[in-house]
Amino acid sequence: MTTAILKQPIEPTAARKPNRSFVHGLITNKKALVGMIVMLVFIALALLAPVLFPGEPSRITAMASLEPSPEHWLGTTAKGQDVLALTVHGSRSSLFVGLTVGFASTFIGILVGLASAYFGKFIDEALSLVTNVFLLLPGLPLLVILAAFLPPGLGTVILVLVVTGWAGSARVLRSQALSIRSKDFVAAAVVSGERAGRIMFREILPNMASNVMSTLLACVIYGIGAQAGLEFLGLGDVSTVSWGNNLFWAGNEGALLTGSWWVFVPSGVCIALVAFALALINYAVDEVTNPRLRKIKTPKNTERSAAK
Amino acid sequence: MRFILRRLGFYLIAFWASITLNFLLPRFMPGDPVSRMFARTQGKMQPEQIEALRKMLGVDTRPLWEQYVDYMHNILTGQMGVSISRFPTPVTEVIASQIGWTLLLGGTALVFAAIIGNLLGILAAWRRGGAIDSALPPLLIFIGSFPYFWLAMGALYLFGVVLGWFPIRHAFTDGLEPAFTWEFIGDVGAHLLLPALTIVLVSIGGWMLGMRNTMIATNSEDYITMAQAKGLRPGRIMLRYAARNAMLPSVTSFGMSLGFVVGGAMLTEVVFAYPGVGYQLLNAVQGLDYPLMQGLFLTITAAVLLANFLVDILYVRLDPRVRSN
């Protein structure tokens, strides 16, 4: 359901080439480059998982709780599953859920933010109220309550994460859209009789591409982390292989208490690496688009950078 | 005053929304929680328990609005029903015995994280490109990238199991009688330290970056240049002029973070088996104790809303612009 809706609104931003200096700035930014390389490696691993480790990753292939060795690079779990296979396969579910949640929440955020900013008045009041209420409701307990009532499964996890995750992006995008809404060219478009949808998606949206991008990155980070948390609590779909579930089983089988750290470390490090890579890209987007954070050589700053 | 009233109205709406959500969830969700519970307990439930469940989950034949009114009335008069897993203790009693631990753990962690994080942010922005500014943010973002519970488990393993520096579970040693003695307070502190440290470690980065970015904007304001021209001491300009004006967003996020205190500490509580509301919430979910689950969620929400309201009042004190309009 999500992917179908997703395509329409994101495309205008993507299809319309963003500012060339923005792309250039991102590519030449060291942080962004590191982040993108790490992400590409993980996406490649996720795509190649069935080739690298054919068959069901959770099947029992060896003795229980083996230390890392040439046959099992990351050792085996207490059940005798290969940890490396579990970790590589886990990236599929984690990245999929993270990206889906990220795109869906950002999409809702765009819709709500644009509608709020464009229509203003009552619609803005109402939408802002709903956004703020969702922002204020404590996320993790809400997540847990929803997951407890809904039937377990991947769809539930995604739905629950989107329900709890969209409000933050809506708030950020609304305030950005509001400032663009007050620009003259939007007023010109209104006067020239353009339709509301066209103004929102063709006039306002492309001008907040960088905000949409950093919101999207933040939402993906949220999605991956929250999925892992939910699954760690045993509230995800326990039968799938994902980083969160790997950690859930590691905890359940007492991996740490028996000292088999190799079961516990890889999935956590993977989540951290992905989140870190995305945060780096996000940080870089911020630097490229926010002139105040960029390192420019204004007279005031030269002394300090020279001193460094 | 108008601002305060507006905010109060907003929080009331938010609270109403969460009560309504609580009311609607079990009634409209696919699958029937009651039958799930019957299956689980296999007829071991007492008639009173079944009755309590029925009432709570709306397995009755009355029209929906009548149930709703009834539910509202119950919640507002503090009748949250009876816990199923700890039958026959009332839900409110179970919650009351645990919320203190959560506030202690979350509150300690939040205060320390906010103070240290903001100070680091101030220093980083003040000496842009200096050691703190270039080394700490990437490091803290990296630490912040790890899932909370993962870091917590790692810390528990390393410091609790391997090194044995800290106790590994609960809020105080079993068998120790809660009392205002140094022995007990020390014991509680020892149990508190490691969980609180893990929260501080992962949340410090957000505070620091937020403060740093606002502070950079503040630093380029004219009144800072003016203060420098007057020849004030740099330390004074940094704290009294720049940081003071950059504090407001931090105050707001302090309010928002209070949500984390009661809600987000959940994972930490689970890892350390710390007897707070988050730990209890997970137990309630696992034990299919729906009344307790709902009671906990409402309590957590109410606590978050109340905390935010207090921060709003503080905000009015701090920001004259809010007062004037």
> How far apart, in whole angstroms, are the C-alpha atoms of residue B242 and residue B240?
6
Which pLDDT tens digit goes with each residue over B183-230?
A: 777 777 778 888 888 888 888 888 888 888 888 888 888 888 888 888
CA atoms within 13 A on the CB side of B10: 24
Tokens of B262: 């009661």
Could B216 and A292 be called an inter-chain contact, meaning their C-beta atoms sit closer than 8 Å?
Answer: yes
Say yes or no for a CB contact (<8 Å) between A256 and B262.
no
Looking at the partner chain, which of A136, A261, A264 has a beta carbon nearest the beta carbon of B308? Answer: A136
Rounded CA-CA distance B221/A159 in Å is 44
Q: Which pair of tokens denotes residue B48?
A: 């009173």
Average pLDDT score, chain B:
79
Q: What percent of chain A clears pLDDT 70, i.e. is strictly above it?
A: 85
B263–A132 CB contact, under 8 Å: no
CA neighbor of A145 nearest in space, from B126, B171, B30, B26? B26
Q: Say if residue A308's pLDDT is above 50.
A: no
B171 residue type, one letter: A
Q: Does B113 have pLDDT greater than 60?
A: yes
A80: amino acid identity, one letter: G
Query: Residue B157 contacts by C-beta under 8 Å, 6 or more apart in sequence?
Result: A256, A261, A264
Task: Find which of A40-54, A100-114, A142-156, B305-319 is predicted with most confidence, using mean pLDDT.
Answer: A100-114
Q: Do B304 and A136 touch (CB under 8 A)?
A: yes
Bigger pLDDT: B137 vs B178? B137
Which has the minimum average pLDDT: A11-25, A152-166, A200-214, B67-81?
A: A11-25
What is the reported pLDDT for A177? 87
Does pLDDT of B311 surpass 70? yes
B37-46 long-range contacts, Cβ below 8 Å, gap at least 24?
B37/B84, B37/B288, B37/B290, B40/B288, B45/B84, B46/B87
At residue A1, the pLDDT reads 38
Residues 6+ apart with CB under 8 A from B133: B123, B124, B125, B127, B212
**Angle, to 10 degrees, between the axis of helix A83-119 and the axis of helix A30-52?**
130
Question: Smallest CA–CA separation between A148 and chain B, in Å?
Answer: 6
B-chain residue closest to A129, CA distance? B10
- The distance of A119 to chain B (nearest Cα, Å) reads 21
Chain B CB contacts of A139 below 8 Å: 259, 263-264
Answer yes or no: are the C-beta atoms of B168 and B159 closer than 8 Å. no
- Greater model confidence, B141 or A187: A187
Note whether A105 and A158 are within 8 A (CB).
no
State residue A99's pLDDT score: 93
Predicted local confidence at residue B321, as pLDDT: 75
- Of all residues in chain B, what percent carry a pLDDT higher than 90? 1
Q: Which residues of B touch A297 (CB under 8 A)?
A: none
With CA atoms as reference, the chain B residue closest to A135 would be B256
Query: Is a pLDDT exceeding 90 seen at residue A105?
Result: yes
Poorest-pLDDT segment among A10-24, A140-154, A173-187, B301-315: A10-24
pLDDT of residue A299 exceeding 80, the answer is: no
Check residue A304 and give its pLDDT.
42
The predicted model gives A139-166 an average pLDDT of 83
B11 vs chain A: nearest CA distance in angstroms?
8
Residue with tokens 């003695």: B181
Please indicate whether, in this complex, the C-beta atoms of A132 and B216 are within 8 angstroms of each other: no
Alpha carbon of B130: minimum distance to chain A alpha carbons (Å): 7
Closest partner CB to A279 (pick from B141, B213, B278): B141
Number of Cβ pairs < 8 A linking chain A and chain B: 142
Q: Least CA distance to A252: which residue of chain B?
A: B271
CA B241, B245, B246 angle in degrees (round to 5)?
115
Between residues B178 and B138, which one has the greater pLDDT? B138
Give the separation between CA A190 and CA A186, rounded to whole angstroms: 6
Chain-chain contact of A229 with B263 (C-beta, under 8 angstroms): no
Q: In B, which residues are within 8 Å of A293 by CB distance? A: 213, 216
CB pair distance less than 8 Å for A149 and B266: no
Three-class secondary structure of residue B90 per DSSP:
strand
> For the segment A62-87, what is each residue's pLDDT rounded down to a tens digit?
777 677 777 777 777 777 777 788 88
Partners of A304 on chain B (C-beta within 8 Å) are 127-129
Cα–Cα distances in Å, from B16 out to A250, A266, B56, B91, B281? 40, 43, 17, 20, 21
Strands (DSSP E) contained in chain A are: none
Contacts of B27 in chain A (CB under 8 A): none
Residue A256 pLDDT? 73
Q: pLDDT digit string (tens) for B239-273?
A: 888 888 888 888 877 877 776 677 667 888 888 88
Give the residue from B46, B96, B65 showing the smallest Cα distance to B292. B96
Nearest CA to B322 among B22, B29, B4?
A: B4
Spatial distance between the Cα atoms of B283 and B262, rounded to a whole number of angstroms: 16
Q: CA of B33: which chain A residue's CA is closest?
A: A149
Contact list, B147 vs chain A (CB under 8 Å):
225, 228-229, 232, 247, 268, 271-272
- In one letter, which amino acid is A263? V
Q: Cβ separation of B262 and A138 shorter than 8 Å? A: yes
pLDDT at B271: 84
No. of helices (H) and no. of strands (E), chain B: 15, 0
Query: Residue A208 and residue B210: Cα distance in Å, rounded?
Result: 21
With 70 as the cut, is the pLDDT of residue B45 above it? no
Nearest-CA residue of chain B relative to A168? B256
> ipTM of this complex > 0.90?
no
In the predicted structure, residue A300 carries a pLDDT above the cut 50: no
Alpha-carbon gap, residue B300 to B277, rounded angstroms: 8
Residue pair B267/B149 in contact (Cβ under 8 Å)? The answer is: yes
Q: In this complex, which of A139, A144, A283 lies closest to B285 when CB atoms are compared?
A: A144
Answer yes or no: do A272 and B33 touch at CB < 8 A: no
- Stretch B78-87: mean pLDDT, rounded? 72
The pLDDT of residue B76 is above 70: yes
Q: What is the pLDDT of residue A107?
A: 94
Farthest-apart Cα atoms in chain A, separation: 74
Partner-chain residue, chosen from B33, B270, B305, that has the shortest CB–CB distance to A136: B305
For residue B257, give both structure tokens: 């973070």
Q: Which of B129, B146, B262 sits opposite A304 (nearest CB)?
A: B129
* Lowest mean per-residue pLDDT among A58-72, A131-145, A227-241, A257-271: A58-72
- Whether residues B150 and A268 touch (CB distance < 8 A) is answered with yes
Peptide bond into B88 cis (omega under 30): yes
Question: Does the pLDDT at position A218 exceed 50?
Answer: yes
Least confident of A131-140, A146-155, B163-172: B163-172
Strand partners, B90: B82
State the average pLDDT for chain A: 79
Name which of A138, A274, A280 is nearest B304 (Cβ-Cβ).
A138
Average pLDDT on A197-218 reads 85
A102 pLDDT more than 90 = yes
- What distance in Å separates residue B182's CA from the closest CA in chain A? 31
* Higher pLDDT pick, B63 / B201: B201
Q: Identify which of B195, B303, B52, B289 has the alpha carbon closest to the alpha carbon of residue B281.
A: B289
Q: If you search the block for the tokens 């962690």, which residue do you land on?
A: B109
pLDDT grade, residue A150 (50/70/90)? confident
Query: Mean of the pLDDT values across residues A113-125?
Result: 87
Q: Residue B38: what pLDDT?
A: 63
Distance (Å, whole) CA A47 – CA A107: 25
Rounded-to-integer distance, Cα A181 and Cα A163, Å: 27
Give the tokens for residue A2: 């999500």
Which amino acid type is present at position A63?
M
| Chain B residues with beta carbon closer than 8 angstroms to that of A129 | 10, 13
In this structure, of A28-32, A104-108, A113-117, A171-175, the range with the lowest mean pLDDT score is A28-32
